[in-house]
Structures are given as C-alpha cells and as structure tokens.
Amino acid sequence: MDTEIVSLAAESLSNAERHAVVLLHPVCVNRDIWRLQVPVWSQSFRLILVDLPGHGLSKALGGQPTLADFARGLALTLDRTGIGQVSLVGVSLGAMVAQAFALQFPERIRKLVLANAGAVTPEPVMQIWGARQRSYVELGSEQHVRSTIERWFDQDYRERAPLTVNWVESLVRSTSQEGYFEAVDAIKRLDHASRLREISAPTLVIAGEKDAAVSPEICRKLADAIPAARLTILPAGHLSNIEAATEFAEVVGQFLLAD
C-alpha cells in the first residue's frame, strides 16, 4: 500500500508578519503539549502548532510512512498556509521530523531546535520499540500509557507534579494505536547520521540531563555532527519542554530571536 501525503491539522497563532516558528510534538501526544510555551513565544513569533500524522486531528498516512513522508506532509501544510521559510522546534519524534524536513527542504529553514532526539535508531533500540508494540497488543493501551509516562518522567517528578503528569497522560491516552504504531515504524527507520553535515542552518540541540530515553551523550553526538549546532542541557527528563518549561521557553526563544 502506497503512502498518501496529505496536509496536517495545524493552528496558526499571532501576527502573520512575524518570524514563523513551527512546533513539532513527541510521539503519542499532540500539539497541545506546547501550551506551556505558547503564551511566552506568541509575543515574539508567529506560531504554527502541528499535529503529526495519526496524532491529534491529523489522520494516519497509511502504508509504511517514513519520517521523510511526515516531513513532506508538513511541507504541504505550509504550502497551503502560504508560509515559506520557517524555524522548526521539535521534541523527540518532532525533532526527527525536523531533521528530515531540513534535509529535504534546506532552503525553507531559518533555524532548527532539536530536543531529546538522536539521528539514528540502532538495532537494539529498534528491538525495544518492537517490544513496546507487542506489549501494546498483548497488555492493552493502559499498560502502554503507564509505561510511557514512567519512561518520560522519573518518580520524583511524578510526585512533585502529579497534575501536569496527569495532563500529559491524557494526551497519550488520546492517541490511537494506529497513529502510535505508524510513528514507531517511522522512528525505527530513523537514519540521518550520514547526512547531518548537509544541515547548514543555525541549530540548537537540547538534552535532558535525566532523559532515560535519549541520553545527553546521544544529543551531544547530534550537535557535534551538525556544523552550526550547539548543545544545551536542561534539568529534565525526556519531555524537556514540560519538565523544564520555563528554561526551555527562554533558551529556545532567545536562540530564535538572536541574529
């Protein structure tokens, strides 16, 4: 079955004349994951919040889509909105899609922010993702939700911020099995490492010092491989834009505003 590239559900906030910044969320959630940053960034940027395929209000693509297909869907969405050059801010899956977009459409990139992601999925990690898919089928969606939350947030944060964790949990629960599996299959085929030198845009790589899913060392390798990249490590786990929301908003916002 061929993959049909379709435009994605998105909302545009703030003045259309401002620097356009596209926000790309992690797997299993949707554009609402950016609500802690929107009030801060909307003062300075035109924000485009996107639901990636199979998440939020965007339908799954079908077939066996790749991250490049996700990026083409984003390009189509921007075309239909009349937006040319953009900066991309992505966390986890969103950062992988941002890499794919920058490699396919380099002329459309002003700046990149790549948080909590690497550039390749090694074979052992592919096996882990496959095991998560099997667990979803065998044990059900609630076990999937619990294990995802435990992987993203350590016990200390879950105890300190139960209401925030419950909110993120509700976003995970809202994502369909089809959307999750489609994204996971794309993640398993992530392989951008050999092409990162082609990315010429100024790039900020963000790591979470407590990230159990993507270590700071993986993020450091990503930053080292992109010519115009630098690394910032925040006091957070895998969702750095949630656990270190203020720090994330400031470091990203200041990077995007800088000449």
Q: Is 58 a catalytic residue?
A: no
Strand ranges across the sheet with 109-115: 10-13, 46-50, 20-24, 86-91, 109-115, 203-208, 229-234
- Among the listed residues 58, 87, 92, 240, the single catalytic one is 92
Q: Are 180 and 27 in contact (CB under 8 A)?
A: yes
List Cβ neighbours of 246 (8 Å cut-off, separation of 6 or more). none
Q: Are 39 and 70 in contact (CB under 8 A)?
A: no
Q: Exposed e or buried b for every residue in 171-182, given b needs 16+ CB within 10 A? A: bbeebeeebbbb
User: How many Å apart are CA 193 and CA 162, to the nearest integer?
Assistant: 37
User: How many Å apart are CA 21 and CA 112, to the nearest integer?
Assistant: 10
Catalytically active residues, by annotation: 92
